[in-house]
Amino acid sequence: MEFKAVAGWRRSVRFFEPWREVEREKIQAIMEAVHRAPRVLEVDFVRTVVVYRDQLKDHELTAMKMPTTTAQVDMAPVYVFFYADLEALPRAATGDNFRELMARGVLNRSHGWTESFLEEQVLPYLRGIIDHPDRITMRTRTPDGDIEGPSVSRAHLSLARSAIGIAQEHALLAAFDEGLGAQLSALNTNIANGILGVPNTWTTSSPMLLGYHGESRETGGQRPREPFEEDFFEMRYGHPFYREPAVVDRLTAAEMIQPTAPLPWRKDELRALARKFGLPD
Amino acid sequence: MAVDVAAVRSSEATRAWLSSRAAYWGPGASQAGFVETLAEFCEFAGKMPDEILSECLRPSKEGGALVLRVRARRQYIDAIERFEAQTGSRKAANVVRSFLIYNGVAMNPSILP
Amino acid sequence: MDFRQVIGRQRSYQYFEPWRPVERDKIQVILEAGRLASRAVNTAFSKAIVTYRDSLTEEERDALKTPLSATLFDLAPVYILWYHDMDARRRAVEERKWPTVASGTLVEVGALGPPHGWSHKYVQEVILPEVLTPGLDSGPQRGGNADASLAMQQGLLAALDEGLAATLAPFDEAGAKRLLHIPDTWEPVMAMLVGYPAESWEAAGQEPRPPLEDVCFEQAVGRGFVRDPEVHERLRQAGMIQRESPVPWREREVRALSRMAELPSD
Ligand SMILES: Cc1cc2nc3c(=O)[nH]c(=O)nc-3n(C[C@H](O)[C@H](O)[C@H](O)COP(=O)(O)O)c2cc1C
């Protein structure tokens, strides 16, 4: 599919066909897209775990539900969990990733990349992030109280979370390119981490629920946003980036920008979906 | 406990439910028989609508804001499931769920096979 | 461009044509794409500010540089600095000005409705006090947010789709703050350096990654996701998987590019 149409048709899908499995080759295509995501500071932060709903026990599924994620969990046949390994940055601070990129002609002398530059500037820069005094202790919540994990600097955590977001972005778009529906949705990751055997040095964000659309591809329209000018600025904060209507028209023609929710028939659809899946209205 | 349908209908929680549900779906969404079904559940649970609700959402210890009571909500989720089994009707049970949902107590039944 | 090719085209592009401005409409496309990314509780955690190499003096440009991005700021004509707005949740909760979960919009537009157990009252009485408000007392918290980079990455892919090269690199927070009047509640994510590539689209070739089965698991950590070679081959044909770095001509290309940009080459 064309990129712009993929971005335009991506919605948070909240109804999936619970009875329809996702072909493993589609999951592989999604995971390969994640694997190609750019690495923040060339660090291999990202880890993913693909989980098949039907291989989980009922009580595990129930325990993973959160106030913001309810029936979706029962409907989606696959969940993809995203993590950043907080030990990846200290490993990268040996310089080996950069040396490999220098050897491959990615990073070159033209931009200052030499062994001494690496040793004298780049690696101290990374150490500065790792050792920054503004720190936070990672915690895992359990019924018996919090378990303390590693202490990391906030700058380090911020990079790790960025890496997760980039990976999530690739996964979401690739899912729609594969003709699937997907949604990032909070699950109880403390419970999930226990079930999946996740080390306490990995930090996470919301997993992606994945499956075939149980609702229309429109999902009632593109979800509304605040005005463009609230988020994007030019030259300085407070001076909005002018939004040219002709560009909006071009993106509309390319299906990236689509009619905003609610489409007039959304509530009829929603009630029909409630009947389809036996949900209340 | 014999439940008076008129009392169920006039309770605050019932009225809040029916009016917000009508506002949400618009005039097309019928509510015929809803109060009677809720009254059946009240009889089944031995509680009136306002009581059910005040068990699930209670003022916090400090007063003021309401707090969702996890255990009470869980008990009603289970009671509605038993009610569904007894009546053999997902539709009837969903009427009760709808009552709780519009009053701020979220819940979902299993997806129908 | 086909989605898989856009994914496959991603590189740490290093060489831009410094003399060639980027059309304004393409920059807008990048921002429009970012705006449409998924975001938790439909709140704008992601912000961006666009600036141009040629609108800054050399000193100002230097103020943005870090060891990992210095020459990139000299070559790329457009810089888009992406931020995480640490105050976004508080504003969504207190102001309810924009269509977020806090303002009830997702329920109203039927994104999350009664079939999922949601109602306006649930938002008011449970989601607001129990999910969205806790923690606000502590004020803005650094430590990043995946949402900010979902938007940034959707923007980056749109840049590639528009025929531009784009690279993410860290920038100097204090320098940017001074030059661009950044609010105190914005935490930096990355600079996106954008321009027309002076190198070929292949650049050095696709950059190395750890083996897939070491970083992607099935059902439990440690059970590596085993690739089906046929699927891999199909993705290669579709352009998502491309020749690995270094391409055989890379050294000569880098020498030529260095001469062209008057950069050191040995
Ligand atoms: C990190 C993250 C977590 C999310 N968690 C939930 C969730 O728990 N429940 C839910 O219904 N949607 C969740 N969403 C989806 C957002 O609500 C959705 O992206 C937003 O409303 C915009 O709608 P769109 O994705 O259709 O464009 C989440 C999104 C992100 C990025």
Structural domain including B10 reads 5-102
Least confident of A65-79, C94-108, C133-147: A65-79
Residues 6+ apart with CB under 8 A from C142: A134, A154, A155, A158, C86, C187
Please identify among residues 58-117 of chain C the ones whose CB lies closer than 8 Å to any CB of chain A: 66-68, 70-72, 84, 97-99, 101, 105-106, 108-117
Chain B nearest C-alpha distance from A179 (Å): 23
Contact indicator for A51, A78 with CB cutoff of 8 Å = yes
Mutate: best of B77, B83, B111, partner A, most A CBs <10 A: B111
Please identify among residues 115-174 of chain C the ones whose CB lies closer than 8 Å to any CB of chain B: 116-122, 124-126, 129-130
Q: What percent of chain C has pLDDT over 70?
A: 100
Chain C nearest C-alpha distance from A112 (Å): 8
Q: What is the pLDDT of residues A244-276, one digit of tens each?
A: 999 999 999 999 999 999 999 999 999 999 999
Contact indicator for C254, A105 with CB cutoff of 8 Å = yes
User: Binning pLDDT at 50, 70 and 90, where does residue B106 land?
Assistant: very high
Q: Got the DSSP string for C83-137?
A: EEETTHHHHHHHH--SSSTTTTHHHHTTSS-GGGT--HHHIIIIIIIIIISTTGG
The pTM for the full model equals 0.97
Q: Got the DSSP string for chain A?
A: -BHHHHHHH--B---B-TT-PPPHHHHHHHHHHHHTSPPGGG---EEEEEEEGGGS-HHHHHHH-BTTB-HHHHH-SEEEEEEEETTHHHHHTTSHHHHHHHHTTSS-GGGT--HHHIIIIIHHHHHHHHT-S-EEEEEEEETTEEEEEEEEEHHHHHHHHHHHHHHHHHHHHHHHHTT-EEEE----HHHHHHHHT--TTEEE---EEEE-BSS-TTTTSBPP---GGGTEEESEEEEEPP--HHHHHHHHHTTSS-PBSPPTTHHHHHHHHHHHHT---
Helix/strand/coil for B26: coil
Residue B70 lies in a domain: yes
DSSP state at residue C42: G
- Mean pLDDT taken over chain A: 96
Number of structural domains (chain B) is 1
The secondary structure element, H or E, covering residue C251 is: helix C250-260
Q: What is the pLDDT of residues A90-148, one digit of tens each?
A: 999 999 999 999 999 999 999 999 999 999 999 999 999 999 999 999 987 777 788 88
CATH-assigned architecture of domain C3-200 = 3-Layer(aba) Sandwich (3.40)
- Mean pLDDT taken over chain C: 97
Residue B93 lies in a domain: yes
Q: Rounded to 5 degrees, what are φ and ψ at C198?
A: -90, -20
> Domains of chain A, with CATH numbers?
3-214 (3.40.109.10)
pLDDT, residue B8, reads: 97
Q: What is the pLDDT of residues B30-77, one digit of tens each?
A: 999 999 999 999 999 999 999 999 999 888 777 677 888 889 999 999
Residue B108 lies in a domain: no
Residues 6+ apart with CB under 8 A from B82: B44
Q: Whose CA is nearest to atom 7 of ligand 1?
A: A185
User: Binning pLDDT at 50, 70 and 90, where does residue B27 land?
Assistant: confident
User: Binning pLDDT at 50, 70 and 90, where does residue A16 land?
Assistant: very high
Residue A267: count other Cβ atoms within 10 Å of its Cβ.
20
Q: What is the pLDDT of residues C130-178, one digit of tens each?
A: 999 999 999 999 999 999 999 999 999 999 999 999 999 999 999 999 9
pLDDT, residue A186, reads: 93
Residue B89 lies in a domain: yes
